[in-house]
Structure 1
Amino acid sequence: MASKPSIPKGTRDFSPVEVAKRQYIIQIIKNNFEKFGFQPIETPSFENSETLMGKYGEEGDRLIFKILNSGDYLSKANVEYLEHKDSTKLTSSISEKALRYDLTVPFARYVVQHQNEIEFPFKRYQIQPVWRADRPQKGRFREFFQCDADVVGSKSLWQEVELVQLYDTVFSELGLKGVTVKINNRKILSGIAEVIGASDKLIDFTVALDKLDKIGEDGVKKEMIEKGIGAEAIEKVQPLFNFTGTITEKIEKLGQLLASSEEGMKGVEELRFICENVTKLGLSSAILDLDVTLARGLNYYTGAIFEVASPKEVAMGSIGGGGRYDDLTGIFGLKNMSGVGISFGLDRIYLVVEELNLFPETVTASSKGLFLNYGDAEAFYALQAIQKLRSSGIKVELYPDNAKVAKQFQYADKRNIPFAVIVGEQEIALNSFSLKNLVSGEQVSLDFEGLKKALN
């Protein structure tokens, strides 16, 4: 007996309706990327392992899907690693390629490889799938799309200002009002660690601080102590645990806290520039908020850090994020090439838009009319009209089989097709068409121009 087919955990099939909704979101993101001057590129779904490994930290490396070498891969494997079952070292000898983990590192590789063909500053967008060997859960998949926009070759903070506006524009057009664009700066996190005398514990400090909303103040302090950060140092960052007020007030508090740190004050000034200008220019519906606990991508972010939270009425992880990286291309030999970028989490955005019932009804509309099939002569007459209607951009189709009329009407109903076009001997003789509204039940006889107007 044949086994029941299935798909791997963390992946999904998409129905026609789901694809239509996904494409609706992608089209809005794509249109706005291009409005803001970003150009499209595409990179391979898999890269050489050396391109990806070591770029995301230990946890990121663990989540990269490795691809086994083709052929008899074990024949070239290191015997010692095989005998000792050293999977970490063995992997490099049997797997030379891996599925991309994100779009940022492949983009950095692209820039270095094509640097002589690129006009800098280079504004690119990329909408493609990525893969992570993560534990699947709501809003987290092993295969998912990222929609990235990056600017490389410019240190101007006006880019950060525009990226906040880009987030606001896209989410406003999707009807997602009230998203929060959280902002922080890597230099501020470094400055805080310096001020409290824990520069050598920067990663441990920021990772713990990043969990404040999940495990609370006591949980964060406990984790910091476990990581070797002293009680005196923790006491110095006490103000961060109740960091409230307007953006301006928060920036002023940070300025006082980091007065003795040159690096920290650089971060404060960068934040001040971005936040003040975004505030002056105004946002349509998004909320900009300074979140000092935000600490994402510390392995390559060097300046501003962004994360987007969905509207408060929906419980969902971040639906976007990004930041400034001053030397990401340096990992591939091209030094001093600053960049900044953001990403839209398509799959999570889909879930939020669906939960809030924000998809327009027209998004999932299929054919506008179904021509019923009464036989070959009638089908040929119908296809002549269908050809003309399609050339005018009207979605129509012919039921392929000369089946019972009731079955054809049932098909139209299940497909949510609003009109049926009836073409029988009488219609052919009169060179006309009978159009039935499948919602109201009303039926009228029309010539071709009348039919075209009704279906348009």
Structure 2
Amino acid sequence: MAKVNVSLPQGTRDFGAEVVRKRNYIFNTIKSVFELYGFEPLETPAMENLDTLMGKYGEEGDKLIFKILNNGLENPAKEQNTREGFEKILQGKNTNAITERALKYDLTIPFARYVAMNHNSLVMPFKRYQMQPVWRADRPQKGRYREFYQCDADVVGSKSLLNEVELANIYATVFSKLGIDVEIKINSRKILAALAELCGGADKMTSITVAIDKLDKIGIEKVKEELQQRGLSDAQINIIEQYLNINGTNDEKLTAIKSLLGGNENGEAGIIELSTLLSYFVPLTSHLVVDFTLARGLNYYTGIIFEVKAKNVQMGSIGGGGRYDDLTGLFGVLNIPGVGISFGVDRIYDVMEELQLFPANVHTGTKVLFFNLGEAESKKAFELMQQLRSKGIAAELFHEPAKMDKQFKYAEKKNIPAIIILGSRELESGTLVIKQLASGEQQTLNWEELTNFFA
């Protein structure tokens, strides 16, 4: 048989038991906080209709949508449309002759589509969380994958800033529980809208935010070059540079932005939003930091925006989100305001791994291994093992009679903390020997004492 070259698609990964347990630790921590704050679970399909997604993420985002080839392209009746469709694809255009569906880019737009389809039956405000994979045709690198999980929490049907306050505190609570020291950056798209108006008009908003969103990656000089290429004048670019250079404490930044925006209506509304959020926030190990360079290049944000960065590690954002008061309007359902945040689980995992933040017991699945020392002995061991399992204690019986050394090695490789020896002597006396592998400590128990020992 010829050797098969087996590989994974670039930007995707397999997860073994050890990694899955660590990831589940993150998922369960986030989920517990979502539930604590009254959010309900939701799942949407892996794929959406292409027109549901296109045009919702801005110019840069649309390029990263994974399109799905239509099924049935081998149908002779479709052959001519298929040829013409491929020609359009090669020209960078979309055509339903080739593709009508796509893998979801994030969880927010599918959620907006769900709300638009079901708003008459939802109790408002509707608070949902969602924990599912998404796909982006990005260039794979550290902390950036083509398939990755997002964990989102959103509230729709309310304009109250208390929602932003709660979401900020969810971030703080989750990262405190995970032991990650983070900086929760905040800004308001209203302030960015005011900046655009100061630089010639609202039509400059997208050009400015897309360029500013790249500041961390390309630096101020490259941002200025991009703004120039997008048609902004030197005077306008100078105003944006002043804006980007605002620093100091949160209060000092808010004072400086008041001075720069000079009474602009959008600017004043944005400043009120930030001030309100800061006044309600209850800091744990994390703090809110006003950051006017924060833009988040997605077009649907309208108010407060968030971005979370881990301290003491080189990594992109591990969370982000914001207010989107007209998102369902994209699907013809008006006047349903919303706000949401997202956790980047894959990056959170990388941060925790690098900083060695996972608890030691996260690796453990099976709590105890019964040695297999013969047919009669294994039958009794199986009976006792089922008693433990009925009490919720994870247990295994080694699959066949084997040398003690082989069974010890199995337990060690699987990080099983305890083993139980039930040989011919123990079978006669109604006892068993429990040994803790980490300490080497062992003791003899009667069979009746076993379940209480692990209780």
User: Do Structure 1 and Structure 2 share a fold, with TM-score over 0.5?
Assistant: yes
Equivalent residue letter for 1:122: F
Distance, in Å, in 1 between the alignment partners of 2:313 and 2:124 is 40
Distance, in Å, in 2 between the alignment partners of 1:325 and 1:310 is 25
Asked whether the 8 Å contact 2:86–2:98 carries over to 1, the reply is no
CA 1:192–1:410 in 2, change beyond 3 Å: closer, same or farther? same
Q: Which moved more, 1:159-168 or 1:426-435?
A: 426-435
The 5 A counterparts of 1:97-112 are 97-112=101-116
Residues 89-143 of structure 1 show CA distances to partners (whole Å, capped at 9, x for unaligned) of 4642122221111100110111111112210110000001111111110011111
CA 1:108–1:95 in 2, change beyond 3 Å: closer, same or farther? same
The 5 A counterparts of 1:224-373 are 224-278=227-281, 282-311=282-311, 313-373=312-372
Residues 431-452 of structure 1 show CA distances to partners (whole Å, capped at 9, x for unaligned) of 1111222233333221124333
Asked whether the 8 Å contact 1:82–1:90 carries over to 2, the reply is no
1:9 is matched with 10
Asked whether the 8 Å contact 1:112–1:329 carries over to 2, the reply is yes
Equivalent residue letter for 1:452: T
CA 1:65–1:212 in 2, change beyond 3 Å: closer, same or farther? closer
Secondary structure (helix, strand or coil) at the match of 1:94 reads coil
The 5 A counterparts of 1:200-211 are 200-211=203-214
Q: Percent identity?
A: 54
Secondary structure (helix, strand or coil) at the match of 1:129 reads strand
Asked whether the 8 Å contact 1:373–1:379 carries over to 2, the reply is yes
Of residues 125, 129, 135, the one that matches 2:129 is 125
Secondary structure (helix, strand or coil) at the match of 2:255 reads helix
What is the deviation of 1:85?
Answer: 6.3
Equivalent residue letter for 1:127: M
List gaps (5 residues or longer) in structure 1.
Answer: none
Secondary structure (helix, strand or coil) at the match of 1:144 reads strand
Q: Which moved more, 1:63-72 or 1:443-452?
A: 443-452
CA 1:433–1:333 in 2, change beyond 3 Å: closer, same or farther? same
2:155 is matched with 151
The 5 A counterparts of 1:420-435 are 420-435=419-434
Secondary structure (helix, strand or coil) at the match of 1:93 reads coil
Residues 212-270 of structure 1 show CA distances to partners (whole Å, capped at 9, x for unaligned) of 33433333333322322112222334432331122122112111211242122211222
Residues 348-374 of structure 1 show CA distances to partners (whole Å, capped at 9, x for unaligned) of 001111111111111111212111111
Distance, in Å, in 1 between the alignment partners of 2:61 and 2:74 is 25
Query: Over aligned residues, Cα RMSD in angstroms?
Result: 1.8
Aligned length: 451
1:391 is matched with 390
Asked whether the 8 Å contact 2:22–2:363 carries over to 1, the reply is yes
Distance, in Å, in 2 between the alignment partners of 1:124 and 1:437 is 44
1:59 is matched with 60
CA 1:213–1:135 in 2, change beyond 3 Å: closer, same or farther? closer
Equivalent residue letter for 1:188: I
CA 1:296–1:367 in 2, change beyond 3 Å: closer, same or farther? same
CA 1:241–1:69 in 2, change beyond 3 Å: closer, same or farther? closer
Asked whether the 8 Å contact 2:213–2:297 carries over to 1, the reply is no
Residues 249-301 of structure 1 show CA distances to partners (whole Å, capped at 9, x for unaligned) of 211211121124212221122222112222xxx21011211111111144100
Distance, in Å, in 2 between the alignment partners of 1:73 and 1:198 is 50
1:35 is matched with 36
Distance, in Å, in 2 between the alignment partners of 1:193 and 1:83 is 38
Asked whether the 8 Å contact 2:243–2:257 carries over to 1, the reply is no
Equivalent residue letter for 1:111: V
- The answer to whether structure 1 residue 376 and structure 2 residue 375 are counterparts is yes
What is the deviation of 1:346?
Answer: 0.3
